[in-house]
Amino acid sequence: MKTKQKNENNESSRFPDYHELKTPLATIQSVVDILVDGLEDERLGKDQQREYLSIIVKNCRRLEELFDNIQAEIKKKDLVDN
């Protein structure tokens, strides 16, 4: 029984937690909302727009990295299981 639980713990630790995936997405959504509102009201200058866009790019790259890690782990598992 302990071995099964240990294997499950090891396997779950390889994949990102839900919040690791959700946080960059929530950040992107919030920043896009700010950009849209700011552009409509003409409140955001070019520097602020660049800053917000860089936040979006950073979080998109983070999500891409997390998904690449998930894909690599799935491939490893498939190779081990086969």
DSSP string, 44-63: --HHHHHHHHHHHHHHHHHH
Residue in the structure block whose two tokens are 């660049």: 50
> Distance from CA of residue 10 to its chain's centroid?
21
Domain ranges of the chain: 17-81
For the cut 60, the answer to whether the pLDDT of residue 7 exceeds it is no
Rounded average pLDDT over 54-65: 95
User: If you classify domain 17-81 with CATH, what class do you get?
Assistant: mainly alpha
Residue 5: pLDDT band with limits 50, 70, 90? low
25 by DSSP, 3-state: which? helix
State pTM to two decimals: 0.69
